[in-house]
Amino acid sequence: MKTLNDYLTNYAEYHRDRRNIATHFVGIPMIVLGVAAFLARPQFLLMGVSLSPLWFAVVASLMFYYKVDVRYGLVMTAYMGLNVWAALFIGAQSTSVWLATASTLFVLGWAIQFWGHLIEGKKPAFMDDISNFLVGPLFIVAEAGFFVGMRSELHKDIIARAGPTRNHKPTVANLPQA
């Protein structure tokens, strides 16, 4: 299995432009909450307990985060807890409000993400490795920690392996190819 450094470095290689990273701080939380909201509404009974698919998705994602790194697993538990709380609130609304809110979060989040990748001129990381759907939220949590000086050795290792972040203007030559 890949290490925390491997996952974050691989993801960072697709995200070296600071403007693209900034779009991820907006887009990823919107997508995560949108998906959580979609999963919060359907209910089924399991051994007399009413559950939604949201709980299974959250437990599965947290298992991944804890397996990769216990400290980040704890932080991701808090992050996912906030998403569960908000998603359950959204899911409890009328069907039209629930669908409109979840859909808007999801679609707008992806639009922001793709805009960031257009700015950088690189395709999204999930196109090469589907596990990056889980690494994306971890990446923004890690980047926020790096910004305030946490886990500096990990940050230095990622920069050494993926290169420094930068600002640049895309050219036709570095736009993603279909």
pLDDT tens per residue, range 122-164: 888 888 888 989 999 999 999 999 999 999 999 999 999 988 8
Q: Provide the pLDDT confidence category of residue 46 given band limits of 50, 70 and 90.
A: confident
Residue 110 has a pLDDT of 96
Spell out where the chain has E strands: 44-46, 49-51
**Residue 100 region, left (φ>0) first, then alpha (ψ -120 to 50), else beta?**
alpha
The average confidence (pLDDT) of the chain is: 91
Question: Cα separation of 117 and 54, whole Å?
Answer: 28
Give the integer Cα–Cα distance in Å for 54 and 92: 13
Q: Is the pLDDT of residue 169 over 80?
A: no
Percent of the chain with pLDDT over 70: 94
Output the pTM of the full model: 0.88
